[in-house]
């Protein structure tokens, strides 16, 4: 073996060793902190009175999702969150949805969010929310109207709200809160006032919610 062969192999093997070592070390630290990051600086921005909520207002644990209806990763997370909403229905857990449309990436995200606010005003937020996530990526204006029709919303009010962007400010307020909390992408979850950094699996999420319930 020539010297450069040995050097290259040495560097490659050492780098892989360092990566695996760092992975194991940081992974153990993540496990110790229960898969949630440090508490956020401005917990009052996590939810506001006008947010759609599922569960008792005074629940011990609050799960907040900052989401975008056109974001595929939010769509992938949706079935899992829906399952958790059912499983924790009789426990002291409430789920809050905040709008965080990534308008640069997703052309329908903004209007979808506004449509969801109108559905909320008409008392059908979660039904509309489920329908949009389950129908991704069909979120054009015509699609939004079709889902509203299927849920029996008042179509005249719905169309007006979309035409006049009545709920633009509600969405913008959520986005401003999200930015203040340091959100860069969607979906971002918070369990009480801690940023959830674990994986999007039922086991990982439930263990974090359960430990928050026991605190």
Partner 1 sequence: MIARKYLLATVAFAGLLISGYLFITHVSALPLLCGDDGGCHIVQASRFASHFGIPTAAYGILFYAALGIATALEKKTWLKLITASGFIVSLYLTYLEAFVVEAWCQWCVASAVLATLAFFIVWLHPKQHDN
The footprint of partner 1 (CB under 8 A) covers 4-6, 8-9, 11-13, 15-16, 18-19, 22-23, 26-27, 29-30, 33, 35, 37, 71-73, 76-77, 102, 104-106, 137, 184-187, 197-198, 200
Question: Considering only CA atoms, which of 45, 60, 79, 40 is closest in space to residue 202?
Answer: 79
CB of 187 to partner 1, least distance (A): 7
> Are 94 and 54 within 8 A, CB to CB?
yes
CB of 81 to partner 1, least distance (A): 13
CB of 162 to partner 1, least distance (A): 23
CB of 27 to partner 1, least distance (A): 4
Residue 65 φ/ψ, nearest 5 degrees:
-110, 125
Of residues 15 and 154, the one with the C-beta less far from partner 1: 15
Q: At what angle do helices 141-150 and 125-135 cross, to 10 degrees?
A: 130
CB of 62 to partner 1, least distance (A): 20
- Cα(123)–Cα(138) distance, integer angstroms: 23
Location of structure tokens 């937020």: 125
CB of 201 to partner 1, least distance (A): 10
In sequence order, which residues have a C-beta less than 8 Å from that of residue 208 and are 6 or more positions away?
34, 35, 36, 191, 196, 198
Of residues 6 and 165, the one with the C-beta less far from partner 1: 6
> Are 147 and 111 within 8 A, CB to CB?
no
Of residues 30 and 213, the one with the C-beta less far from partner 1: 30
Of residues 17 and 152, the one with the C-beta less far from partner 1: 17
Per DSSP, the three-state class of 137 is coil
Of residues 82 and 159, the one with the C-beta less far from partner 1: 82
Of residues 29 and 203, the one with the C-beta less far from partner 1: 29
Q: Compute CA 10 distance to the chain's CA centroid, rounded to the nearest angstrom.
A: 43
Q: Which two tokens stand for residue 26?
A: 């940081």
């Amino acid at each position: 073996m020539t010297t450069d062969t040995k050097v290259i192999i040495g560097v490659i093997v050492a780098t892989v060793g360092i990566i695996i070592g760092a992975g194991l070390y940081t992974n153990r630290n993540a496990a110790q902190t229960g898969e949630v990051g440090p508490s956020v600086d401005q917990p009052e921005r996590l939810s506001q009175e006008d947010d759609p909520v599922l569960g008792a207002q005074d629940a011990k644990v609050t799960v907040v999702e900052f989401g975008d209806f056109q974001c595929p990763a939010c769509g992938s997370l949706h079935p899992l969150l829906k399952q958790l909403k059912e499983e924790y229905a009789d426990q002291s857990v409430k789920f809050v949805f905040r709008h965080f449309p990534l308008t640069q990436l997703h052309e329908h995200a903004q209007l979808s969010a506004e449509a969801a606010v109108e559905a909320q005003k008409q008392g059908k937020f979660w039904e509309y929310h489920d329908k949009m996530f389950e129908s991704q990526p069909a979120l054009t204006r015509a699609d939004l109207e079709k889902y509203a029709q299927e849920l029996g919303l008042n179509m005249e009010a719905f169309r007006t709200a979309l035409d006049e962007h009545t709920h633009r400010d509600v969405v913008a307020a959520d986005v401003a809160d999200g930015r203040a909390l340091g959100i860069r992408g969607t979906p971002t979850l918070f369990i009480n006032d801690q940023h959830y950094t674990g994986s999007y699996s039922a086991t990982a999420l439930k263990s974090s919610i359960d430990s928050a319930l026991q605190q």
